[in-house]
Amino acid sequence: MCGIFGVYGHREAANITYLGLHALQHRGQESAGIVSSDGERLFTLRKMGLVQAGFGSSEIEQLPGAAAIGHVRYSTAGGSHIKNAQPFAVDYQGGAVAVAHNGNLTNHEPLRRRLEEQGSIFQSNSDTEVIVHLIAKSRGATLAERVIEALKQVEGAYSLLFMEPRGILAVRDPMGIRPLCLGVLPAGSSPDGSSQPPLAGEGERRSYVVASEPAAFELIGATPLRDIEPGEVVQIDESGMTSSRPFAAAARRMCLFEYVYFARPDSALEGASVYQVRKLCGKKLIEEHPVEGANADDCVVLPVPDSGVPAAIGLAQQARLPYEMGLIRSHYVGRTFIEPSQSIRHFGVKLKLAPNRVALQGKRVIVVDDSIVRGTTSRKLVGMLRGAGAREVHVRISSPPTKWPCFYGIDTPTRSELIASSHSVEEIRRYLTADSLGYLSLDGLAAAVREAESAAGTANGQPGHCHACFSGDYPVAIASDERHHHLRVV
Amino acid sequence: MCGIFGVYGHREAANITYLGLHALQHRGQESAGIVSSDGERLFTLRKMGLVQAGFGSSEIEQLPGAAAIGHVRYSTAGGSHIKNAQPFAVDYQGGAVAVAHNGNLTNHEPLRRRLEEQGSIFQSNSDTEVIVHLIAKSRGATLAERVIEALKQVEGAYSLLFMEPRGILAVRDPMGIRPLCLGVLPAGSSPDGSSQPPLAGEGERRSYVVASEPAAFELIGATPLRDIEPGEVVQIDESGMTSSRPFAAAARRMCLFEYVYFARPDSALEGASVYQVRKLCGKKLIEEHPVEGANADDCVVLPVPDSGVPAAIGLAQQARLPYEMGLIRSHYVGRTFIEPSQSIRHFGVKLKLAPNRVALQGKRVIVVDDSIVRGTTSRKLVGMLRGAGAREVHVRISSPPTKWPCFYGIDTPTRSELIASSHSVEEIRRYLTADSLGYLSLDGLAAAVREAESAAGTANGQPGHCHACFSGDYPVAIASDERHHHLRVV
Amino acid sequence: MCGIFGVYGHREAANITYLGLHALQHRGQESAGIVSSDGERLFTLRKMGLVQAGFGSSEIEQLPGAAAIGHVRYSTAGGSHIKNAQPFAVDYQGGAVAVAHNGNLTNHEPLRRRLEEQGSIFQSNSDTEVIVHLIAKSRGATLAERVIEALKQVEGAYSLLFMEPRGILAVRDPMGIRPLCLGVLPAGSSPDGSSQPPLAGEGERRSYVVASEPAAFELIGATPLRDIEPGEVVQIDESGMTSSRPFAAAARRMCLFEYVYFARPDSALEGASVYQVRKLCGKKLIEEHPVEGANADDCVVLPVPDSGVPAAIGLAQQARLPYEMGLIRSHYVGRTFIEPSQSIRHFGVKLKLAPNRVALQGKRVIVVDDSIVRGTTSRKLVGMLRGAGAREVHVRISSPPTKWPCFYGIDTPTRSELIASSHSVEEIRRYLTADSLGYLSLDGLAAAVREAESAAGTANGQPGHCHACFSGDYPVAIASDERHHHLRVV
Amino acid sequence: MCGIFGVYGHREAANITYLGLHALQHRGQESAGIVSSDGERLFTLRKMGLVQAGFGSSEIEQLPGAAAIGHVRYSTAGGSHIKNAQPFAVDYQGGAVAVAHNGNLTNHEPLRRRLEEQGSIFQSNSDTEVIVHLIAKSRGATLAERVIEALKQVEGAYSLLFMEPRGILAVRDPMGIRPLCLGVLPAGSSPDGSSQPPLAGEGERRSYVVASEPAAFELIGATPLRDIEPGEVVQIDESGMTSSRPFAAAARRMCLFEYVYFARPDSALEGASVYQVRKLCGKKLIEEHPVEGANADDCVVLPVPDSGVPAAIGLAQQARLPYEMGLIRSHYVGRTFIEPSQSIRHFGVKLKLAPNRVALQGKRVIVVDDSIVRGTTSRKLVGMLRGAGAREVHVRISSPPTKWPCFYGIDTPTRSELIASSHSVEEIRRYLTADSLGYLSLDGLAAAVREAESAAGTANGQPGHCHACFSGDYPVAIASDERHHHLRVV
C-alpha cells in the first residue's frame, strides 16, 4: 500500500506536500519522496524511511516551486531499495515527468515483456516504470493524451499523480479500487492558518490539493471537495482545474479493506466515515456473534490497539458491556527496532502490546481486532490475556475471514500463509486457543458501509466494492503469470 | 523524570536491561545508558535518544557479564548533553562504581558548593555527581556503608541503583517519593520464555530485577515481588538479596502524579493499579463536575489520547455516556520531528492530534485530559473540536489544578508558566474557550488511590502522598537557592 | 574522469574489485560502485564517496559470486548525484546487464534525442544510459553482438566494462583514447598471496582482471598481460578469454594527459612508464627553458606535490640542481573538508600546501607543476614562495599550455576559464608574478613518451596520441550541440 | 602524542583554533576538541576523529567568544573513547576551567592513588584529570597560582594550555620535553589575510597564539615569536601577556624524536629547522654507513614516503646518487580504512605503498626511513622492492635503534615489541632480508641538530635533549608502577 499527495499553485508546495505525506504516513513507512516544479524544471528527492526523518528544512529548500507531488511507500518483503522509491522521475521526448502511484497493475508482467521486446530497459522492479514507458512511447501531443493512451493499455488498480513542469494530473482507475480525493486551499494561505498577501501573479486563484485520503486535508487547512471519480482524469495547471472521463464506464469497486484497516478513522471515503463504518462493524459483529450470557459485571470488551479500537467501541456500546484498555500499546515500537540478541528474537508482539492485569483478572474477555492474517499474533495475544488472568477469551474480528491475496496493491502474504484460506473458523479458534471466535459476515460489512453512507446522506445506489480478499471475486482479471508472481510480492 | 532498571545474576544481563529500559521508555527519551559487570570490571555505554535506536546487537556485545543497570533520561530544557546521560560511572578509591538516579536532590547546590570548597571537580550539571562525590569521600568499608553515609547528607527524592563489579544496591528515599520495585526471574530463563540448563556455578539461584515500575517485569517474564520500601536499602550480590533500613523513619509520600500521568497504566505502585486509579479519577471527576443534562443521544466523552484514555473510560462508564475516539493520534510524531520551514512552525498539536468529525458533529463533547500545564495545547484542542463541529466543549481534568513546580524530579515549568498558579478555574475556562471546565479535587484523587488500594487489598493505612504540585505542601524542604534555581530546571 | 575494474572467475570477486577500485581511487572520488554476479543474477551496490568509506565487509557480503565489475567516478560540477553513480544496471529483453564507463560520448545528445523520439526514458544525465538503450534496442543474439551494434552508433572516447550474469565484456574505443589493461590472477589465489585449494569446478583456470591502469594489478597480486587494443572487444566467460576487432581500424590516439597528470606514476600505459615519461618531461623542460645562471649554491628545484614530483626529480637531475621539499602537503585535506565560516573561505591551497621556509630563504626557486588551468592556484603559490623568502621564482610546467577543453572524459573547465586559451605565456607569467615561466613544448612531451617507450622496448611506430587540450586538434568530431553543451559539463 | 593550540583576543577564536588544529592534525587523529570562552562562560565541543570531520560551521557557531584552546589526540591502543578526548573541562570552586595536554606524567598513578584516598573520583583514564584535581584542591587565589601549585606535584613531560573564562595559561615542563611555541596575530586580522576595523574595545591589541609547533602559525597568518621556555608559565588575558618562571631550573631536554619523526618538516623547534635536521641526518647517515661502490648509474636513493623524504634528499645529495620515487604512497589510506574480508587482512603496507618498478628494475636501492619499530613493515618493504626488481636493497635509518619505550607522551610499544631492544643490527638486517642496514648514531643525530641550530644562529650552548628511546637515559624518573604500567599504554 502507498499514499500519494499533490498540490498545485501554492508558494510552499514542498512544505504542504511534506505535511500531506505526514498525514498519510500510515499508508507507507518504507520510503518517502517529493518532486516539485518551479514551472520549468522538476526537483526530486527520495529517501528511505519516514517522511519526517528524511525531509528537514534543508531538504525542503532543495524543492522549490509552487507545485509538488509526493509518495509514501509501504515496506514489502523483497523490494526494499531506494530504486523502488517514488515519485518515479524521468526525462523523455515530452520533457520531464514524475509519477506517484498507489495500487498495482495486474498485467504489468506481459506489458514489461512486450516493452523489453521493443528495446526498453528497466531500472526498478516497480510496475510504475511500465506506465512511464508507455507514456514515453505514446504519440499524444500533451501529457494528458499520453497518460490516457498509456492507461488504456494497463489493467489493475491505480490512483496516480503525474507531474510535468507546468501542471499536475490525477487519475483514478475505472473501478476506483484505490481512493483519491480532491481538496482546495486558498492561495496565499499558510498551512498554519495565517494568510499572506498574494504574490504577484498569484491572483485570486485557489490551490488544489489531491490526496489518497481526506484526512490529509485537515492538517494543512484545506477543504475537502469530493472524491475523484473512478475513471476520472483531473488536470490542474495555470488555467485551473478540468476533469474528463476518457475511459469506458465500469462499476465502482473501491477496496473494502480500506474501511476495515487501511484508511485513517478520521477519513471519509466515497462519503462513508471510516470511523463510523468500523463502529458499525463492531455493532453488527456482536449481533452476529454474541457472547453467551455476557454481562457488565464479569465481561469486558477490549480492542487490539490501535486498529481494533473503533470496532471495540461500537461492539461495547451495542452489547452494553464495559470497554477497557486491556492491552497497552508501546509508542516506541517502530520499524527500526533492533532485537539485540539471538535468544530474544520473536519478542514481536510482547514488545508492542502488554496485558493490563487489573482489567483482565477473573474476567470474561471479548477482544476485538480488525482481521487475522497468519494467526500467530492472535494466538500469542490470547495466551497473553489468559496469562494475565482472563477467565475466558472470546475473539471477535470486524471483517470476514481473509482468504485470498490482494492483487491490487495491498501487500498480503500468499494464500498458503493466510490461515483462513485452509482452516475453518472452528479450526482457527482451536489454533488461537480462544473460547470462541466470530468473524463479521461480508453482508454485515457491506451493510455497515451502506449505513455509514446513509448517515452521511451520500448513499449513491452503487454499493459495489472490491472484496476479493474475503470472497475471491476479483473484479479485474489477473494475468496468469501475475497471479503466480503476485502470490509473493505485491 | 527518568526510569531505572537493574538485574543481577542473569547471563544475558545487558539484554534483559535493554528490554527493561524499553518498557520504561515513556519515563525518558533523551538518553539511554547501560553499565554491565563481569564480576571484575564495569562496562559502560551511553547514547543520546531512544534505547532501541542506540543499543543494537553490537552494542549489547560490548556489555558482558551477569549484572547490569540501566537508565533512561527525560529531555530537559537546558541540559541535553551526553555528559548528563546516565548511569554515571567513575573510579574512586573503592574501585569502580556506577549509579542510575530517578529523582532530584533538593540540597544539591549547597552540597556542590561544599564539595567544591573541598576541592572537588564537576564534569556534569547533574545532581547525581554530588552523590558519587559523597560516596568517594566516605570512609565506609563497603559500598553499602559509603552509600548510606552519602545519602544521609542529601535531601530530596531519589530512587537509586548502584553497581560495583560484585553487586548491585537499590535505594529508595525515606519518603519513597519516586517508585522502585523488586522482581525475580528464574536463573537460566531466557527473556523469551525458553529455559536453558544452568551455567556452571549458576546453581539454583534466582536472578533479581529492580525497576522504576513493575510494567518492566512483564516483558522480560519476571515476577513482581514487592515495592522497595521508602528508606530501604536492598543489596544483591552472590550471597543473594539482603535488605536494611538505615535511615530514620519518615511518613511515606509517593508522588501522586505518577498515578495521574507518569506511570504506565499496566503498572501497580504501592499496591494500587495505575489504570484503576485513573478510571476512578474519571468516575469521581464527573461526580464532582457533572455536565448538566448530558444524555447518551447528544453527548459524547472523548479522551485526549493517550494519557486521558483511562479517565475518559471511567468517566463515560460512570456517566453512561458514549465513549468515542474524537481525537486521532498520529503514531509518527516523536521527538525527532523536524518542522521544515518558518511558516509552519507551531504546528505542534495539529501534527499529533486530528479531530474525528463524524464523532463530534453537532455533539456536546466532554473531553478528558490528565492535566493542564500552560493551557496553550488545551486551548488549541478546544478550538479544533469546535472547528470540527462540536456544539459544546466541556473540559474535564482528572487531577487538581497544577499550581506548583516539582522539585523532586519532574521537569515542570516555572510557577509563572503554570496557568493555574495565577488564574482561577473560571479564568482558565475562558482562556480555553470551553463551555465548562472541571478539575478533580485533591480529595477525589486521594480517594481514587485509596479505593484502588482497597480493591487490591493493599490499603496500608498510610495514605500519605506527595501532592506538592497541586497543594504547594512540599514534604522535603527546598534549599533557598535550589528553590530559585529549580524554578527553571529540574 | 573515472576508473573501471573487472574480474572474472575468482571466488572473492567483490573483494578483488574493491581492492582494484582502491588502487584506482585517484581516478574518481565522487562515487563508487560494484556489481557482482553469481552466474544467475546481478547484485548492485553504489555509494557516494570513496570506495573505502562505502564498502565494508557487510556491503561486500551483499555482492556474492565469482565475477564483478566496479567503477569510481570523478566529481563533476553539476551532476553529483547517486543516480549518476556507476555501474549502471538494468533489466532488458536479454536479461540483466551492467556497465561501467570511462570516457565521454561526443554524439550522445543527438543519440539521446533520437532515442527519446523513439519513446525511451532517461533516469540519469549520464551518456552511459544512451549506450544501454542502444544495447536494449539491438536485435543481436548475444550481449557481444548487441554491444558491438550499439557502439557502432556512438562516437567519442570509451573504455567500457559490461557484465551479464554469465560473463564480462571489455571494450576500448577505436582510437583507444582512454586506457584499459588486461591482467591475470591464478584461480584459487587469495589477494593476500596465500593460495587455496581450487573450488569444485574451478579447475585450473586463471582469473582475468581488467583495469583502467595496471597499477591496480600490483595490489591484488595479478600479473599485467597487455593493454587492451584500441577497437578491441575482449569477452571473458566460462569458456575463457576471446578477443575480436569488430570496428573499422583507426589511428591510435591515447590521451597524452594521462601521462602528464591523470595516471599513477607506477602505471605503464601502452608500454611507456608514466613515471619515466614525467621525469623525461622534467629533463626536456629545463633543456627547453633553462634558468639563466642557475647553480647548486643558490638555486633549488621544488615540486608542487604530489603531481609535480617526478618532473621535478627529472628536472633537478638534468640541471644538477638540488631537489628540495619546498612545499609541504597536508595529508588531511580531502574532498570532505568543510571551511567553517565565511571569513575563512578561499583558504584553498593554504590548507593543502605550506611553504618550507628553510628550503626557500634567499634562494632562486624553480617550482615544477604538471599544468596550469585557471592560474589562480599557481599565482597563490608564487606569492607563498616569495612570502617565505624566495629570491626569485621560476615556474616550469611539464606540459604545453592547456588551451582547449576535453570532450573525451576529463572534467576541464570551459575555454574561457582556461588562462592559456586567452593569454600569452608572457601574460600568464605576469599574472603569476613569476620571474620566468616555461611550458614544455608538445614536441617535447611527445618525445618524452617516445623515449619511455624505447626504454621499455615497446615503441610501436604508432606515436599518435590525443593532444586536443594542448593543440585543439580533436581526433573525434564533436557534435555541434555537444560542443556547446560540453563546454560546461563533461 | 597530541597537539595543542590556543588563541586569545580574536573575534574568530574558534575558527582560528580550528585552523590551528588542522595544521597540527599529524600530531593526533583520534579525537579533536575545542573550548571557547566569551569572557563569562566556557563552551566545549569534543569529537572522535579528524578536526575537519567533526567541526563544520554549525559546530563552530556553538563556540562563541574571543578566546579558545584546542587539542588533537593520537590514537592509543586501549583508550579510544570520547571520555578521554580533550580539552578536559570541569567546574570547581574557582569556576570553570579547561585544559589541553601534550605529554605524559610519570607519577600520575601514585598521584591518582593519593587523590582517590582523599575521596576524588575519576571519569577518564587520562593523567590530565589528575592535574585538574590538584588545581581544584589548591588554595591558590588565582588560576595561575593553583596551576603552579598543582604542577609542582607532578613529574613528567607536559606542554599545557589552561583556559578559564577570562584568560589563557600556557605552561611547558621544566625540561621542556614537549615543544610549545608562541606567536602573534594582529587584532582585527582575518585568517585569510584581510583586515577588518577593530571591534569596540578591541583597541590596538594583538592576539596571541600558542601552538605545539610553529607550522600552525603559517596557516593562520600569525608570526612566530619564540619557543615558550622550559619551566615557563605564560599568562594571556585582557591585560596582555606576562611570563614567569616559578619552577626550579632544570637542564633542557626537548625530545629528539620530534626532529626525527613527529614534528612537521616546516616547523622549527628551539631554533632548529626540522627539515634541515632531517636532511643533515641523511647526510651523516651515508657518511657513517656508505654503500660500497655505489654510483649514479646503478644505484638509486628512495624514501619511505612521507617520513623518510627529507633524509633521503639529504642522503642523495651527499652521496651524489639519484633520488627517485621508488615507492608510491596512496592518498586514500587513512585510519578509517575497512578491510572487507578475512582473506584480505594484513594488507597493511600494500594498501599504502606500491613499488614503482621502472625506478627499481635492476638497481641497487638505498631505501631511507626514519626509524624501525617492530620491523614487520620494513621487512615487507624490502620484499616488495626485491619483488619489483631491485638487485640489492640497502636500508638506512635516519635515527639510532629505538630500544626503549617513551614515558613522556609518545605511544611506543612495550620494550619486548621493539625489535632493536633484543636484536643486534646484524640480526635485524637478516630479519629484514636487507643487503645492508645502517642506523644513524646518536652522536650523528645530535650533531645534525647542532648544525641546524648553528645554521639558524640559534645554537644556545644547551644541546641537551631527551634521547631515552635510543639510550635508555630517562631524564625524569619513572615511578615504579608507572614504569610497569606504561610499558603498554602511554
pLDDT digits (tens, 9 = 90+) for C385-415: 999 999 999 999 999 999 999 999 887 777 8
pLDDT digits (tens, 9 = 90+) for B372-426: 999 999 999 999 999 999 999 999 999 999 999 999 988 777 788 899 999 999 9
B181 part of the active site: no
What angle is formed at CA B193 by the lines to CA B187 and CA B199, rounded to 5 degrees? 30
User: Residue D50 is placed in which grid cell?
Assistant: 579528524
Instruction: Report CB contact under 8 Å: B119, D133.
Output: yes
Chain C interface disruption, residue of D274, D332, D333, D368, most C CBs within 10 A: D332
pLDDT digits (tens, 9 = 90+) for C137-155: 999 999 999 999 999 999 9
Nearest CB neighbour to A91, from listed C92, C93, C122: C122
- Residue C272 scores a pLDDT above 80: yes
Q: Is C80 on the interface with A (CB under 8 A)?
A: no
Chain B interface disruption, residue of D88, D120, D129, D139, most B CBs within 10 A: D120
Question: Taking a C-beta distance cutoff of 8 angstroms, is the pair B217, B209 a contact?
Answer: yes
Question: Taking a C-beta distance cutoff of 8 angstroms, is the pair C272, C287 a contact?
Answer: no
Q: Rounded to an integer, what distance in angstroms lies between the CA atom of residue D160 and that of residue D132?
A: 12
Q: Rounded to an integer, what distance in angstroms lies between the CA atom of residue B372 and that of residue D79?
A: 49
**Predicted TM-score of the model (pTM):** 0.90
**pLDDT band at B193, cuts 50/70/90?**
low
Closest listed residue to residue D161, CA positions, set D187, D143, D142: D143
Residues 6+ apart with CB under 8 A from A342: none
Residues 190-229 of A with CB under 8 A from C: none
- From chain A, pick out residues whose CB is under 8 angstroms from the CB of B266: 328, 354-358
Q: Is B320 on the interface with A (CB under 8 A)?
A: no
Residue carrying C-alpha cell 592556484? C377
Count Cβ–Cβ pairs < 8 Å, chain A vs chain B: 182
Q: How far is A62 from chain C (nearest CA, A)?
A: 13
C99-106: average pLDDT? 95
How many other C-beta atoms lie within 10 A of the C-beta of residue D113?
12
The pLDDT value recorded for residue B121 is 96
Handedness of CA C97, C98, C100, C103 (dihedral sign): positive
Instruction: Report CB contact under 8 Å: D60, C340.
Output: yes
**Is the pair D, A in contact (3+ CB pairs within 8 Å)?**
no
Nearest CB neighbour to A121, from listed C82, C116, C132: C132
The pLDDT value recorded for residue B92 is 96
D52 vs D134, more confident: D134
Q: Rounded to an integer, what distance in angstroms lies between the CA atom of residue A332 and that of residue B32?
A: 13
Count Cβ–Cβ pairs < 8 Å, chain C vs chain D: 178
Q: Is B52 on the interface with A (CB under 8 A)?
A: yes
Q: How far is C188 from chain D (nearest CA, A)?
A: 12
- Chain A: list its partners (3+ Cβ pairs within 8 Å): B, C
- Chain C: list its partners (3+ Cβ pairs within 8 Å): A, D
Torsion angles phi and psi, residue A315, rounded to 5: -65, -45
Q: How far is C145 from chain D (nearest CA, A)?
A: 36
Q: Is D266 on the interface with B (CB under 8 A)?
A: no
Q: Is C451 on the interface with D (CB under 8 A)?
A: no
- From chain A, pick out residues whose CB is under 8 angstroms from the CB of B381: none
pLDDT digits (tens, 9 = 90+) for B331-342: 887 543 344 444
pLDDT digits (tens, 9 = 90+) for D7-38: 999 999 999 999 999 999 999 988 999 999 99
pLDDT digits (tens, 9 = 90+) for B289-331: 999 999 999 999 999 998 899 999 999 999 999 999 999 998 8
Instruction: Report CB contact under 8 Å: A119, C137.
Output: yes
Range name among A251-260, B327-336, C408-417, D147-156 with the lowest pLDDT average: B327-336
Q: Is D443 on the interface with B (CB under 8 A)?
A: no
Chain C interface disruption, residue of D59, D192, D352, most C CBs within 10 A: D192
Q: Which of B2, B255, B281, B469 is catalytic?
A: B2
Strand order in the sheet with A223-227: A42-48, A31-37, A67-73, A2-8, A206-211, A181-186, A223-227
Nearest CB neighbour to C119, from listed A89, A116, A137: A137
Q: How far is B299 from chain A (nearest CA, A)?
A: 14
Q: Rounded to an integer, what distance in angstroms lies between the CA atom of residue A247 and that of residue D57?
A: 56
**pLDDT band at C485, cuts 50/70/90?**
very low
ipTM: 0.92
- Chain D: list its partners (3+ Cβ pairs within 8 Å): B, C
How many other C-beta atoms lie within 10 A of the C-beta of residue C73?
27
Q: Rounded to an integer, what distance in angstroms lies between the CA atom of residue A334 and that of residue A49?
A: 11
Instruction: Report CB contact under 8 Å: D89, B133.
Output: no
The pLDDT value recorded for residue D451 is 95
Pairing mode, strands D223-227 and D181-186 = antiparallel
Question: Taking a C-beta distance cutoff of 8 angstroms, is the pair A84, A125 a contact?
Answer: yes
Q: Is B90 on the interface with D (CB under 8 A)?
A: yes
Closest listed residue to residue C60, CA positions, set D340, D351, D347: D340
pLDDT digits (tens, 9 = 90+) for A396-427: 999 999 999 999 988 777 788 899 999 999 99
Instruction: Report CB contact under 8 Å: D328, C264.
Output: yes
The pLDDT value recorded for residue B197 is 57
Q: Rounded to an integer, what distance in angstroms lies between the CA atom of residue D20 and that of residue D81?
A: 23
Return the residue of B nearest to A355 by Cα.
B266
- From chain D, pick out residues whose CB is under 8 angstroms from the CB of C192: 343-347
Q: How far is B7 from chain A (nearest CA, A)?
A: 16
Q: Is C48 on the interface with A (CB under 8 A)?
A: no
Instruction: Report CB contact under 8 Å: C343, D190.
Output: yes
Range name among B62-76, B211-225, C306-320, C343-357 with the lowest pLDDT average: C343-357
pLDDT digits (tens, 9 = 90+) for B35-50: 999 999 999 999 998 8
Residue carrying C-alpha cell 542473569? B10
Nearest CB neighbour to B340, from listed A55, A317, A337: A55
The pLDDT value recorded for residue D204 is 56
Q: How far is D280 from chain C (nearest CA, A)?
A: 13
Instruction: Report CB contact under 8 Å: A120, C117.
Output: no
Give the side-chain half-sphere CA count within 13 A for B209.
34
| Extended beta strands in B51-143, E state | 67-73, 88-92, 95-105
Q: Is B119 on the interface with D (CB under 8 A)?
A: yes
pLDDT digits (tens, 9 = 90+) for C277-331: 999 999 999 999 999 999 999 999 999 998 899 999 999 999 999 999 999 998 8
The pLDDT value recorded for residue A349 is 78
Closest listed residue to residue B400, CA positions, set B438, B427, B367: B438
The pLDDT value recorded for residue A337 is 39
Q: How far is D244 from chain B (nearest CA, A)?
A: 25
User: Residue A161 is placed in which grid cell?
Assistant: 499523480
- From chain C, pick out residues whose CB is under 8 angstroms from the CB of D60: 340-341
What is the pLDDT of chain C when averaged over all its residues? 90
The pLDDT value recorded for residue D483 is 58
pLDDT digits (tens, 9 = 90+) for A194-206: 556 555 545 556 8
**pLDDT band at C347, cuts 50/70/90?**
low
The pLDDT value recorded for residue D76 is 54
Q: How far is A447 from chain B (nearest CA, A)?
A: 18
- From chain D, pick out residues whose CB is under 8 angstroms from the CB of C313: 323-325
Q: Rounded to an integer, what distance in angstroms lies between the CA atom of residue C86 and that of residue C78?
A: 16
**pLDDT band at D414, cuts 50/70/90?**
confident
Instruction: Report CB contact under 8 Å: D89, B123.
Output: yes
Nearest CB neighbour to C192, from listed D194, D322, D344: D344
Q: Is A450 on the interface with B (CB under 8 A)?
A: no
3-state secondary structure C131-181: HHHHHHHCCCCCHHHHHHHHHCCCCEEEEEEEEECCEEEEEECCCCCCCCE
